[in-house]
Amino acid sequence: MVDIGCGSGRFLIWHAKNSGKSQNYLGLEIRQKLVERAQFWVNELELMYVYFMFANATMSFEKIISSYPGPLSLVSILCPDPHFKKRHHKRRVLQQPLVDSIINNLCLGGQVYQFHSPSFVFLISKAWTRYFQML
């Protein structure tokens, strides 16, 4: 499972503790202090299969995920659009290259959890259309 924009990591840690599955969890966050805090909590809770990484997922998701040998079965993106004004659109997590990368790396039957974002619905529909045209 990969949580993009994981913030303080509480959702990912909760999910790892309560899922009952033996799988790896990765949180990607653009703010270093939040990554350090989340990794501290993981170490305190001795969750050896949970890791947080300081990264800009919009720019580096493909590189990070392509080096992982296992399947990508779940991606969560919570609160991806920080502000509705046009001048803040450049800060949005959900941009077409990231959506394409998620679709290209998600295993068959994989899932995407996404908290309401109209831009995501539009981007994912465009990406799936291109994907099915390639088949």
The strands making up 2-4's β-sheet, listed across from edge to edge, are 50-54, 25-29, 2-4, 72-77, 106-114
Establish how many alpha carbons lie within 13 A of residue 16's alpha carbon, considering only the half-sphere containing its beta carbon.
24
Q: Which of 37, 81, 92, 95 is catalytic?
A: 81
Quickly tell me which residue has 């991806």 as its tokens: 80
Return the axis-axis angle of helices 96-105 and 57-66, rounded to nearest 10°: 20
Q: Which residues contact 42 (CB under 8 A, 6 or more apart)?
A: 9, 13, 50, 51, 52
Q: Is 3 a catalytic residue?
A: no
Catalytic residues: 81
